[in-house]
Amino acid sequence: MLQSLHIENVAVVKRLDIEFSAGMTALTGETGAGKSIIIDSLNLLSGNRADKELIRSGSDRAEVSAVFSSLSPQTVTALAELGFEADDGSIMLSRVLTQSSSSARINGRPVTLSLLRDVSGLLFGIHGQNDNLRLLDPKNHIDILDAYAGNKDKREEYYELYRKILHIRAEIDSISKDSRERLRVREMLKFQIDDIDSAKLREGEEEALEALVGKLRHLERINKCCALVEKALEGSKGMGAIYLTDRASSALESISDAVPEAESLASRLAEVKYELEDIAASVSELADFGDGDPTARLDKAEGRLDTITRLKRKYGSTVEEILAFRREALEKLEYIDTADDRKADLEDELEKLSASAKEIAKQLRESRKRAALGLTKSVKETLAFLDMPKVAFEAGISAASEFNPCGLDEVEFLISANPGEPLMPMARIASGGELARIMLSLKNVLNLSDGIDTVIFDEIDTGISGKTSRKVGIKLKEIGREAQVICVTHSAQIASLAHTHLFVSKREVDGRTESAVSLLDDDARVSEIARILGGIEITSAQRVAALEMISEGKNY
């Protein structure tokens, strides 16, 4: 159940903390007092779209949080499957809005809005005029019937097969495209592969060629400099730097017995000699351009680079990317060449999947037929109680022409508002008040099967009044025996039945309007029910009527 709700800087609410109780709670108050803000705040916790206009004027952020406690074992298990532990039977949801962003947390952990929707859907449901309008769309009727039938697992099993069927059909359609188009693509791929293969590219080749071209283009200067270095190091007649360094080292070595420090210097000169010899060998390699005419080799290397540049313009910015393009083209070519065999395999797989999906769809149909009888009977009984005894209701099931996301069935709720009139689609007949009662009837029937601990009704009394409103309240109270019910209402007949009555008011603080919520005691509750009953001023007669309604409500 919803234990507490914290709202901060949402519309006219500066800061509001509300404690809720089990059973049925009524929320009443003058129009514009802030009842809708409470519903808007709960919608934010449902993961709904965040309207930045909800942020209180002058504030840079708004926050809503709620604690749910005394969760049922089924809900705790379902939460665990989503990755949230609620071993103590409680969980906290929160949502923060700023002018530029929206964020959500569950038990303090950042989550996506999609995950927030999944979790909140296990904890509470909000039913209002939008839900009444949802009843007009037949696409929603099959979900309602399946919820009553308990077809969740079977629906998921079927949908997985349906998803695979769609994927295979799309692949078969792709393979079955115009054969001339496949031939055109094949020829193009073959040309691209041959074009790349003719160059016989090697990874790292371009860098090596660029280095060779750089050397060959500066051949004369490189030879001149290298010759100068070799002469300086080796000298003519062995009188270069290497020879002189070796002589100097030997001289120092010869006096080391008299001057011990000379030995260290001799060793250092010996190391210099070895380094000079290594440099001389490396310089010799720098001037080695291999065999063949350098000019011919330069022309060949530059031509090779021109070939690589041409391929790069078409297939990639590097040799590695060109070779990767070639591998992808080869895979596509093999895909086309094996298309017919693969199509045959896919058609065999599609046949098997379709058979399995058809069998599960058949099981769903049988389950729906049985459930439709029970749902129709229960809804008609509830409608009769809600002063619609002559309204005929039926959950109609018809066969779909092909697989759809729900199976091979189409479901549409049909009603007849008057005796002797044929059953017709709900959208063509039902008024606003009738829709409200039909929705309540369905909710009353489904409550035991949907497993949601908290049910919130937003102005379900729209379009109905008097005795019918009283009966709507009785049904809400019945639901409250199995789940927590929170009802925003303008009806005295409904509010007087609640176990707990919260009053929403607004006041001016420091020149600004703020909403407040208070728990009504017995006397204040009588006054509020009397106010709802009407009149500019509350009369003693209205107070007596209110007291009678509250007293009578305790009997239900």
pLDDT tens track for 84-108: 988 888 999 999 999 889 999 999 9
CA separation, residue 192 to residues 195, 310, 498, 542 (Å): 5, 13, 78, 91
Looking at residue 111, its pLDDT comes to 95
Q: Which residues contact 538 (CB under 8 A, 6 or more apart)?
A: 527, 530, 531
Q: Which of the listed ranges 16-20, 117-121, 231-235, 535-539 does the model predict with the highest average pLDDT?
A: 16-20
Residue 129 has pLDDT above 80, yes or no: no
Q: How far apart are CA 546 and CA 540, in angstroms?
A: 10
Closest CA to 474 of 447, 440, 514, 504: 440
Tokens 């990317």, residue located: 321
Confidence label for 209 from pLDDT (cuts 50, 70 and 90): confident
Quick check: 383 pLDDT over 80? yes
CB of 41 closer than 8 Å to CB of 524: no
Token pair of 58, please? Answer: 């002058």
3-class SS of residue 34: coil
**In the structure encoding, which two tokens stand for residue 398, read together?**
């018809």
Residue pair 433/462 in contact by the 8 Å Cβ criterion: yes
Could you identify the residue written with the tokens 């009806």? 491
DSSP string, 123-140: HEEEESHHHHHHTT-GGG
**Does the pLDDT of residue 66 top 70, yes or no?**
yes
- Residue 291: the pLDDT is 64
The stretch 415-424 carries a mean pLDDT of: 84
Q: Tell me, what's the pLDDT at 106?
A: 95
Q: pLDDT over 70 for what percent of the chain?
A: 95
Q: Where are the beta strands (DSSP E) in 405-499?
A: 407-416, 424-425, 454-458, 484-488
Q: Which amino acid is at 409?
A: D
pLDDT tens for 227-253 read 788 888 887 666 788 888 888 888 888
For residue 402, which phi and psi values (nearest 5 degrees)?
-155, 175
Sorting pLDDT into bands at 50, 70 and 90, what band is 340?
A: confident
Span between the terminal Cα atoms of the chain, in Å:
21
Domain range list for the chain: 2-135+450-553, 187-337
| pLDDT, mean of residues 245-268 | 87
Whole-number CA gyration radius for the chain: 42
Residues paired with 27 in a beta bridge: 488, 502
Which residues share a beta bridge with 416? 392
Q: What pLDDT is recorded for position 547? A: 93
pLDDT score at 51: 85
Query: Could you say which of 3.40.640.10, 3.40.190.10, 3.40.50.300, 3.60.15.10 is the CATH number of the domain covering 2-135+450-553?
Result: 3.40.50.300
Alpha carbon separation from 176 to 171, 173, 237, 348, 419 (Å, rounded): 9, 5, 84, 15, 55
Query: What mean pLDDT is predicted for residues 154-178?
Result: 89
pLDDT for 529 beyond 90: yes
Amino acid found at 288: D
- What is the average per-residue pLDDT within 221-231? 79
Strand arrangement of the beta sheet that strand 407-416 belongs to:
392-404, 407-416, 424-425
Q: How would residue 73 be classed by pLDDT, with cut points 50, 70 and 90?
A: confident
DSSP summary character for residue 55 = B
CB 407 within 8 A of CB 487: no
**What would the mean pLDDT of 243-272 be, rounded to a whole number?**
87
| Confidence category of residue 390, pLDDT binned at 50, 70, 90 | confident
Residues written for the chain? 556
pLDDT-derived band of residue 123, with 50, 70 and 90 as boundaries? Answer: very high
Q: State the pLDDT at residue 355.
A: 95
Q: Tell whether the model's pLDDT for residue 8 goes beyond 90.
A: yes
Averaged pLDDT, 109-117? 94
Residue 228: exposure state from Cβ atoms within 10 A (0-12, 13-18, ≥19): exposed
The mean pLDDT value for 53-65 works out to 92
Residue 518 or 287, more confident = 518
Which of 119-128, 146-155, 424-433 has maximum average pLDDT? Answer: 146-155
Which amino acid appears at position 441 of this protein?
A: S
382's torsion region: left (phi>0), alpha (psi -120 to 50) or beta?
alpha
The answer to whether 26 and 495 are in contact (CB under 8 A) is yes
Number of other residues whose CB lies within 10 A of the CB of residue 30: 14
What would the mean pLDDT of 340-348 be, rounded to a whole number? Answer: 88
Q: Are strands 484-488 and 24-29 parallel, antiparallel or unpaired?
A: parallel
474 closest CA partner among 1, 24, 28, 27:
24
pLDDT of residue 359: 96
What's the pLDDT at 252? 87
Q: Give the pLDDT of residue 450.
A: 60
Under 8 Å between Cβ of 498 and 519: no
Lateral strand order in the sheet of 13-19: 13-19, 2-10, 61-68, 91-98, 102-106, 109-111
Higher pLDDT, 437 or 99: 99
Query: What is the reported pLDDT for 290?
Result: 61
CA nearest neighbour of 210 among 136, 309, 125: 309
- The position carrying tokens 């791929």 is 189
For position 44, what pLDDT does the model report? 94
> Going along 357-471, which residue ranges are E strands?
392-404, 407-416, 424-425, 454-458
